[in-house]
Amino acid sequence: MEKIRAKKSMGQNFLVDGNVLSRIVEAVVLEPSDRVLEIGPGRGALTSLLVKRAEQVLAVELDRQLVPLLEKEFSGADNVEFIQGDILKIELPEVLGSRWNGRWKVAANLPYNISSQVIFKFLDNVSLFSSLILMLQKEVGDRLIASPGTKEYGILSVFCNLHFNISRVLIVKPGSFRPIPKVDSVVLKFVPLAAPRQDVGDETLFRQVVKASFSQRRKTLANCLRSALIADNDDLNLILSQAGIDGGRRGETLTLEEYAQLTRQVLAFQKRQSP
C-alpha cells in the first residue's frame, strides 16, 4: 500500500510490529468459520493476517482516504469488506446481523481518544460477540482490570466486570507504532459471560447508581448518592442499611457484588414509592 501519513486528529498510530500483529491474531483464536469485525484497519497490516484465517472480515475505517486504498490492496480477497464510517455511529445489530446472525469476534486497535466510548458501545451490544481483542492505551487498560480500592478502579471497571472476563495478552511498547506514541499500549482479551456476573435487577438503574457513586470521588458514597439519586436522608440511610453498606465509604471501594446489592435495594425502594 502506498504511504499514508497518520492523522493526529483521528488518533491514528499504525501498528507495524510483525511479532505483535502475530500475537494479536493468535489471541483472536480464529476458526475457518469465524466472522471478524475489525475496527480501524489503518494500512491493513492486521487485516492481511485475519483474511487468511477467517470466513469473513468486516473492517470499519473512519478515514475516507484510506478506504479506497484498502479496497485496492485487498481486491483479490473475496472474504473482506470495508465500511467507511464512525464505529460510534454505526448500528452494530443492523450492520452485523444483516451479514451473519452468529456471534462475531472483534479485533481492534482503538484510537486513544475514543477507546472508552467504543467499550461502552460493546457493553450495549455484548450479545453480538463471542470475544474481543482490543489494543488500548495502557492507562485505559489498567482501569478496565482494576480492583476496588485502587486509584484506577472506576465506572468502566465495574461495568466491564459485570459482563466480561478480561485478561491481559501483552504490553506493546511505543516503538511498535508509526508514528511513535508517547505511552505504552496493552492488548486485552474480553470474553462475554453467558449471563451477567451479578443480578443487578435493572441494568439502566445499575449504571445510574455506579455513575452517581463515582461522580465525586473525594466525597462519601452517601453524599454522592444524595446529590444524584436519593435526596431524602432517611430514605438513603434505609437503602444503605438494607444493602449492608456503610455510607461513609467511597464509591471506589465497593465491589461489583456490593453495587449489585445497592442497585437492588434502590430498585425495591423505587417500587415501594410507585403508586
Instruction: Give a yes or no: residue 80 inside a domain.
Output: yes
| Claim to verify: residue 207 and residue 177 sit in the same structural domain | no
91 φψ region: left (φ > 0), alpha (ψ -120 to 50), beta (else): beta
Q: 110 lies in which domain range?
A: 8-192
Instruction: Give a yes or no: residue 198 inside a domain.
Output: no
pLDDT band at 113 (very low <50, low <70, confident <90, very high): confident
| Claim to verify: residue 89 and residue 175 sit in the same structural domain | yes
Q: Where are the beta strands (DSSP E) in 22-163?
A: 35-39, 56-61, 80-84, 104-109, 129-137
Instruction: Give a yes or no: residue 3 inside a domain.
Output: no
Residue type, 182: K
- 165, β-bridge pairs: 191
Per the annotation, does 109 bind a ligand? yes
Each residue's pLDDT tens digit, 4-46: 554 454 456 889 999 999 999 999 999 999 999 999 999 999 9
Each residue's pLDDT tens digit, 73-88: 999 999 999 999 999 9
| Claim to verify: residue 241 and residue 146 sit in the same structural domain | no
Kindly report the pTM of this predicted structure. 0.93
| Claim to verify: residue 243 and residue 145 sit in the same structural domain | no
CATH number where 95 lies: 3.40.50.150
Residue type, 176: S
Per the annotation, does 78 bind a ligand? no
The set of cell numbers assigned to 220 is: 462519601
pLDDT band at 275 (very low <50, low <70, confident <90, very high): confident
| Claim to verify: residue 131 and residue 229 sit in the same structural domain | no
CATH number where 262 lies: 1.10.8.100
Per the annotation, does 165 bind a ligand? no
Per the annotation, does 152 bind a ligand? no
Q: Indicate the average pLDDT of the chain.
A: 94
| For helices 203-213 and 256-273, angle between their N-to-C axes, nearest 10 degrees | 110
Per the annotation, does 13 bind a ligand? yes
Instruction: Give the mean model confidence (pLDDT) for residues 175-197.
Output: 96
| Claim to verify: residue 252 and residue 148 sit in the same structural domain | no
Query: Final residue of a domain: which of 192, 218, 241?
Result: 192
pLDDT of residue 9: 47
Per the annotation, does 223 bind a ligand? no
Domain count, the chain: 2
